[in-house]
Structure formats: structure tokens, C-alpha cells
């Protein structure tokens, strides 16, 4: 086992804020590590330090000469006129056939190789950047939120690649499902420290919860002991005969320390104000055509969405998902047909471009108080702001100085504080840590608000959606299956295209049960046969032993050989019988 990266005593601060404090990490070959932590914990900073694009205050970063880092960021360095194949050749220094071979594994082939990179949809541009990274043959991949803006097809391709990648991976993602499918170890960055747990993310979160409960129990025992010692001091401290003992107890009390409990990752709870319960249609689309003056994106759209439904809008990038949401929000005029909202419906719309237009010169607190409807208390505002990481001094920040991510979180907090009947969301999970993503998903799922959303975050969609609309090939249609089946069919298409189809996965449970029943039946039948055979052999053995007793003076080579054979066969059968019994215990 060779070491690819060793970090010791790493410290990094921004002013008075310490991001990394004496942090340590060792990454060896063939490790797939999901990196988690709250926003601002230092995940991206760590990556920048490793690739030497950012300095650090103290410590050591040891990268052996054999380590080849591939660092995938959101930044693009292709020119406006550069074709895919030209860019790949320039960035990697490889021949066109080598570039084409790797590109084909990400479904970029034939005429697409000659297309200008800037003409491709965002998901395909990310594929091109990933291909360029892989052509450099790294053995340590650093992936910082690679699924941001990636459509599901590209995510599935990336999953396939990472699972089969013969190197190590450090992956930052706010999508728990993506981490779970690609990583088998978990690195949490919290309170300046790094803790590497050698198991998958779900196991780590269970472990962490158990650790927190254990610390809580220990703190309770400490408090009880301190209470008893204090009671002794209060009772006998004034007596001369007990003075030395009382002083001893005071020293014991001073030594008893309460262990600080770090907030676990699953404590965020978001509450969305309920709206008036009403039945009926929230939105009716009749022969709707959407698009732009020079381009129709989809036509003949006929859909009814009932109040309270949670509809995921799915499809590859560039197919028109955002165009549909903009049309529903009234930001884009429909080309033809009818679009009708239900009576007295208030609509909120969140999209990636909206936070950039948030330029009022107010503090976070003042802004949220102003936009909140009647009946929302200051405490409600504080709680919602805290869920989106605006606490204490952050509430006093003025909006013009907020980062893009902070403005995005502020817009979401505003929308959730308002009593909207319909919420339209375009990629709401970007800029959120996965704890907040899941809390937001649960809040939307449990609300009585109608939600229509675009998201490529698998965990978010799985939690929220109870209906699916697919935008594909200039059509917008209702998908009449659940999200799991949608993902399965898409994955099957991709695997077949890549020639790696692994057969149906949705029927796996049924197939496994069938196979299990076959195994149990086969084992039981074999047990019966063994028992019959052993009984017969025991009878034959008994007869042979009786013959030897009755004919003690005689020697029979044939019978002696047969007895030895029977005894060996019985021993073999008994061993197999025991193994089958153990197997049945497991199968049952």
C-alpha cells in the first residue's frame, strides 16, 4: 500500500476565523472518500491547499513524486472557438484517438467531438472537463461538488466511472445518495479537525449519533457525581473533622469536566408555514407551447397538477426544464396554448439567477423581517435564518457583501417564511450542505404546499417527489412511475449504450428471493439425501463390524477396505451435513 497524500498539523485561518486547526489526514491508494461538513467548514479550502492554489499557515502537505492529482472544478478554460477534440488534445497533450476513446466512455463521440465546447449544454461541458482531467491519468482525484448542474444521465456516467476508477478519490458533494453510491469511506471536517471513518456515509452517521449519545450519558454521570460531591461539601464542609475530606471533594469536582458535544449533522429542522387546505387543480396546461421567439422548446403540453402535489421536472440539460419553470413563473411568455393557475394562488419562484439580483442595502435580519408576512414572529425569522446558516453576527451582515451562496440561502429562507400556495424551485440544493438539503426536502415533502421543482440531487428528489414530469425531445409528459424506476430505466439505457448492461436491477429483490428459495430448497433436499445415505452406510458399517466380531480370526482385505471407505464417506457426509445446517441458518 502506497501513500498518495499525507497532511500533518495543518492550520489555516482567515483573520480571526480558524478553518483548519492542527488537522491531519493520510490517503493511500485505492481509497474512495466522501468529504462532508457544514458550509464554511473548510472542505473546498482543503482541496485548494492540496493543489497549491491557496496558502496555509502551519503544518505539512506531503505529496510523493508518484502522486498525480486530477482536480475538477467549476472553472472552464476552453476558448469560444475550440472544438471538443481540440480542447481535449490541447489540455492533455494526447493524440486524437486517445482522447476519443476516453470521450466515448462518457457518450461524447462522432460529430459531438467536432462541436464547439461552448455550444454544448452544461452537463456535457462538465463531461468534457472530466474527460480532460482523466486523460492526465491521475491516481488521486479531487472532485469539488462535481454534481452541481449535472443532469442525471451525466451523474450516472460519473458514478460508473468512480466505482471502477483504479485510484483514490476525495469527493465533496451535498448529495448523500451520490456519496453513498461512489464512496466507501467518510471524511468529516468539523470544528477545524478532520476525522476519517473507514466506512460508508450512512454507517458513519449512525456511528456519530452513537458517539454523541455515549458522550451525553457520560456527561450525565459526571453531573451526578459532581452533585453528590457538592452535597458532601455542603453538608460537612463546615465541620473541622471533615475539612480535609471536603477540600479533597472540591478538588475532585474541579477535575470533573463536561465533554463538549458537537452538533450532529442531522439536527436541522425546517418548518414551512401551512397554507389553507384546498382540493382541486393547482395548475392546468392545455396545448401549451414553450420556448423563445426564435425557437420552440416543447409543444402540445397537456398537464393537470393537483394542489399539494410535489412534482419533479426531470430530463437532460438543454432539454427545456428551466424554460418550463420560467414559463410557469411568468418570467417567460408562452408561445401558444393555455396556462391557468387555480383560484387565489400565491406563487414563489427560486432560480439560480434570482439571488444575483438581490441588491437591497439591508441586513439579513432586517430583510427577512420586512419580507415576512403578518403573524411571523422574530423568533420564527431567527430560526429560519439559522437553518440557512445565518446566526449571530451573520444576521447583521448587509446583503451587498454576501457571497453568491449566502444570497441563494437568503432567498430560500425568504420563500419558506412566506405563505405561498405554490413554490417553483430550480436547483435549490446548490450552495447547501447535505444536512440542510435533506431538512429542506423533508419540510417540502411534509408541507401542504404545491411544489414544482428541478433538481439533479438524487437524495432531494427521492425525498420530495410524488410525481414526475419529463422534458425530452421537445415534449413535456407525465411519467407514470416512481423516481426509482425512472432512474433504473435511464441507467439501463446508459449501460446498454456503453455495453456494460448488468441486467435488470429493479427485479433484483424478487430475483434474489427466488434464488434464495431455490438455495434453501436445494440445501434441504441435499440434507435429506445425506441423512438417508448416512443411515444406509451406518447399517452397512454395523454389518461389517458384526462380521469382524464373529470372524475375529479371519482377515478379509475386501471387507477391511470397504470399512475404511465407509468410514471416510460417513465423515465426509457428516461434514457436508454440518456445513449445510450452518448455511440454512444464514439463509433463513
Distance, first Cα to last Cα, the chain: 39
Q: Are residues 414 and 312 in the same domain?
A: yes
Backbone angles phi, psi at 4, to 5 degrees: -100, -25
Query: Could you give the CA distance from residue 204 to residue 150 in angstroms, rounded to a whole number?
Result: 26
- CA-based nearest residue to 457, from 487, 424, 488, 481: 487
512 lies in the same domain as 401: no
For 458, residues 6+ apart whose C-beta sits below 8 A from its C-beta are 152, 155, 175, 177, 178, 487
Which residues are CB-neighbours of 203 under 8 A, at least 6 positions away? 186, 197
CATH of the domain at 321: 3.40.50.300
571 and 427 assigned to the same domain: no
Whether 466 and 341 share a structural domain: yes
DSSP at 394 = G
Is the domain of 470 the same as that of 379? Answer: yes
Virtual CA dihedral for 524, 529, 535, 538, nearest 10 degrees? -120
Is residue 477 domain-resident?
A: yes
Reduced to 3 states (helix: H, G, I; strand: E, B; else coil), residue 28 is strand
| Cell output for 328 | 410557469
Count how many domains the chain has.
3
Q: Dihedral angle at the C-alpha atoms of 159, 160, 165, 169, nearest 10 degrees?
A: 0
Is 560 part of a structural domain of the chain? Answer: yes
Instruction: Please report which helix (H) or strand (E) contains residue 324, including its range.
Output: helix 321-329
Identify whether residues 520 and 432 lie together within a single domain. Answer: no
User: Do residues 193 and 317 both lie within one domain?
Assistant: no
Low-confidence ranges of the chain (pLDDT < 70): 1, 74, 212, 215-216, 219, 228, 232-233, 235-247, 249-253, 255-268, 498-514, 552, 585-588
Longest Cα–Cα distance of the chain, Å, equals 115
Name the residue with cell 403578518: 374
> What span, in angstroms and rounded, lies between the C-alpha atoms of 526 and 50?
59
* Nine cell digits for residue 478: 407525465
Please say whether the beta carbons of 429 and 399 come within 8 A: no
Asked if 587 and 519 touch (Cβ cutoff 8 Å), the reply is yes
d(C-alpha 325, C-alpha 332), whole Å: 9
Give pLDDT, residue 393.
84
Whether 297 maps to a domain, the answer reads: yes
Strand, coil or helix: 166: coil
* Domain interval for residue 178: 3-68+138-203
pTM higher than 0.75 for the full model? no
Which of 155, 176, 203 is the last residue in one of the domains? 203
Same domain, 390 and 455: yes
What is the rounded distance in angstroms from the CA atom of residue 588 to the CA atom of residue 585?
A: 5
pLDDT in tens, 458-502: 889 999 999 999 999 999 999 888 888 888 888 888 887 766 654
Residue 527 sits in the same domain as residue 578: yes
> What CA–CA distance (Å, rounded) separates 280 from 405?
37
pLDDT at residue number 336: 94
What was the pLDDT predicted at 356? 72
CA–CA dist 107, 179 (Å, integer): 23
pLDDT value at residue 235: 66
147 domain residue, yes or no = yes
pLDDT confidence of residue 23: 92
Query: Would you state the pLDDT for residue 238?
Result: 59
CB proximity list for 79: less than 8 A, separation 6 or greater: 87
**How far apart (Å, rounded) are the C-alpha atoms in residues 434 and 444?**
15
Q: Report which of 284, 329, 273, 282 is spatially closest to residue 308, judged by C-alpha positions.
A: 282
Residue 527: Cβ within 10 Å count? 16
Residue 465 belongs to a domain? yes
Q: Look at residue 532 and tell me if it is in a domain.
A: yes
The x, y and z cell numbers of residue 107, run together, are: 457518450
The answer on 178 and 38 residing in a single domain is: yes
Contacts of 274 (CB under 8 A, 6+ apart): 419, 447, 448
The pLDDT of residue 237 is: 61
**Are 450 and 524 in a shared domain?**
no
* Residue owning grid cell 450525565: 220
* Together in a domain, 287 and 195: no
Whether 225 is covered by a domain: the verdict is no
Is residue 289 exposed (0-12), middle (13-18) or buried (19+ Cβ within 10 Å)? middle
Q: How far apart are CA 186 and CA 194, in angstroms?
A: 10
In a domain, 252, yes or no: no
Residues with Cβ < 8 Å from 66, sequence gap 6 or more?
Answer: 2, 4, 139
Amino acid at each position: 500500500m502506497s501513500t498518495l497524500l499525507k497532511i500533518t498539523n495543518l492550520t489555516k485561518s482567515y483573520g480571526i476565523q480558524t478553518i483548519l486547526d492542527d488537522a491531519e489526514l493520510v490517503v493511500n491508494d485505492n481509497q474512495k472518500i466522501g468529504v462532508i461538513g457544514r458550509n464554511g467548514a473548510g472542505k473546498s479550502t482543503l482541496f485548494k491547499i492540496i493543489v497549491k492554489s491557496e496558502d496555509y499557515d502551519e503544518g505539512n502537505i506531503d505529496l510523493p513524486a508518484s502522486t498525480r492529482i486530477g482536480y475538477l472544478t467549476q472553472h472552464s478554460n476552453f476558448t469560444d472557438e475550440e472544438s471538443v477534440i481540440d480542447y481535449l488534445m490541447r489540455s492533455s497533450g494526447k493524440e486524437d484517438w486517445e482522447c476519443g476513446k476516453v470521450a466515448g466512455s462518457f457518450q461524447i463521440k462522432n460529430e459531438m467531438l467536432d462541436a464547439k465546447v461552448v455550444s454544448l449544454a452544461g452537463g456535457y461541458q462538465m463531461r468534457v472537463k472530466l474527460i480532460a482531467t482523466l486523460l492526465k491519468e491521475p491516481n488521486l482525484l479531487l472532485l469539488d461538488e462535481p454534481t452541481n448542474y449535472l443532469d442525471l444521465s451525466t451523474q450516472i456516467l460519473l458514478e460508473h466511472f468512480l466505482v471502477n476508477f483504479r485510484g483514490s478519490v476525495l469527493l465533496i458533494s451535498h448529495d448523500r445518495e451520490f456519496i453513498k453510491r461512489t464512496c466507501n469511506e467518510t471524511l468529516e471536517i468539523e470544528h477545524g479537525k478532520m476525522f476519517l471513518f473507514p466506512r460508508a456515509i450512512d454507517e458513519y452517521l449512525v456511528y456519530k449519533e452513537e458517539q454523541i449519545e455515549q458522550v451525553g450519558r457520560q456527561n450525565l454521570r459526571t453531573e451526578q457525581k459532581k452533585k453528590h460531591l457538592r452535597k458532601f461539601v455542603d453538608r460537612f464542609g463546615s465541620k473541622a473533622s471533615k475539612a480535609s475530606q471536603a477540600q479533597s471533594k472540591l478538588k475532585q469536582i474541579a477535575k470533573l469536566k463536561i465533554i463538549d458535544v458537537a452538533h450532529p449533522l442531522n439536527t436541522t429542522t425546517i418548518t414551512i408555514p401551512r397554507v389553507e387546505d384546498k382540493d382541486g387543480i393547482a395548475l392546468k396546461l392545455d396545448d401549451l407551447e414553450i420556448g423563445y421567439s426564435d425557437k420552440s422548446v416543447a409543444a402540445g403540453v397537456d398537464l393537470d397538477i393537483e394542489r399539494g402535489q410535489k412534482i419533479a421536472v426531470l430530463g437532460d440539460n438543454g432539454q427545456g426544464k428551466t424554460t418550463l419553470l420560467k414559463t410557469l413563473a411568468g418570467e417567460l411568455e408562452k408561445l401558444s396554448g393555455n396556462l391557468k393557475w387555480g383560484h387565489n394562488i400565491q406563487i414563489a419562484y427560486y432560480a439560480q439567477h434570482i439571488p444575483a439580483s438581490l441588491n437591497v442595502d439591508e441586513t439579513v435580519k432586517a430583510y427577512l423581517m420586512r419580507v415576512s408576512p403578518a403573524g411571523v414572529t422574530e423568533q420564527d425569522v431567527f430560526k429560519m435564518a439559522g437553518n440557512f446558516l445565518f446566526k449571530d453576527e451573520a444576521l447583521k451582515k448587509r446583503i451587498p457583501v454576501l457571497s453568491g451562496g449566502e444570497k441563494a440561502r437568503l432567498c430560500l429562507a425568504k420563500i419558506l417564511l412566506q405563505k405561498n400556495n405554490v413554490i417553483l424551485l430550480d436547483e435549490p440544493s446548490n450552495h447547501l450542505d447535505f444536512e440542510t438539503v435533506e431538512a429542506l426536502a423533508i419540510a417540502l415533502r411534509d408541507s401542504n404546499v404545491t411544489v414544482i421543482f428541478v433538481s439533479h440531487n438524487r437524495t432531494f428528489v427521492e425525498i420530495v417527489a410524488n410525481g414526475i414530469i419529463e422534458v425530452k425531445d421537445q415534449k413535456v409528459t407525465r411519467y407514470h412511475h416512481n423516481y426509482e424506476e425512472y432512474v433504473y430505466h435511464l441507467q439501463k439505457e446508459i449501460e446498454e449504450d456503453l455495453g456494460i448492461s448488468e441486467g435488470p436491477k429493479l427485479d433484483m429483490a424478487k430475483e434474489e428471493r427466488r434464488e434464495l428459495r431455490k438455495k434453501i430448497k436445494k440445501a434441504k433436499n441435499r440434507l435429506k439425501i445425506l441423512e438417508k445415505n448416512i443411515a444406509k452406510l451406518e447399517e452397512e458399517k454395523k454389518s461389517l463390524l458384526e462380521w469382524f466380531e464373529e470372524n475375529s480370526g479371519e482377515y478379509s482385505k475386501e471387507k477391511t477396505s470397504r470399512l475404511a471407505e465407509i468410514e471416510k464417506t460417513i465423515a465426509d457426509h457428516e461434514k457436508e451435513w454440518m456445513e449445510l445446517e450452518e448455511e440454512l441458518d444464514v439463509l433463513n
